[in-house]
Structure 1
Amino acid sequence: MDAERAARRLVRATLRGTPEIILTPLAKIGTRVHALAPSTTLRLLTLVERTLPAPTGESGPPRPARTAPLRGWVRRVTELDRAAARRWHEHSDPAPDPDAGR
């Protein structure tokens, strides 16, 4: 979901006094599945979390190394998020080249 659209929906819900809002149909399905089978949902989310990229900073728990096929899959799934980050200039700066200046 586009960040601007999500922000508009969140502001409207806040103004109406709605205590909780679910933004996407997939999230709504996820909440229903979690209500029916919470431990299965948590196990599934644990597996999904293992496919996510490792944190870039020093904070956070270390994650297991990803395999090469998942990199392409993660790249495709996160393309909209990365496009929005580029649009709003929120992407992280590239890591400095250790060989620069030699």
Structure 2
Amino acid sequence: GWYALTHDPFLLHFLHRWWAWIAVAALVLMARKLRAPGDRRISVAIHSAFGVQILLGIATVMTGMNIILAVLHQAVGALVVASAVWGAHRLGSDKA
């Protein structure tokens, strides 16, 4: 079982896609909490980042793993993390 989780490309791809949808659901919930007028830029950044990430992921698979699209998918992944951290920071600062 552990070997399949780390070496089976079909299982890894399946898990990658399903965990991605769970991450998107969490990001949507976070972005909805940030819809207030002062936080709208953060909400737009989160939605834009994961939207582009989804499109690049689909395009990467549809093109047979085009290296340029794959690298862009990785780079936008960093933007998704950055926007999520920005949102978490803003939500955390409300509680302080």
Q: Considering fraction of residues, name the structure with more helix.
A: 2
Q: Is TM-score (shorter-chain normalized) higher than 0.5? A: no
Please state which band the TM-score falls in when normalised by the shorter chain.
under 0.3
Q: Rg larger in 1 or in 2?
A: 1
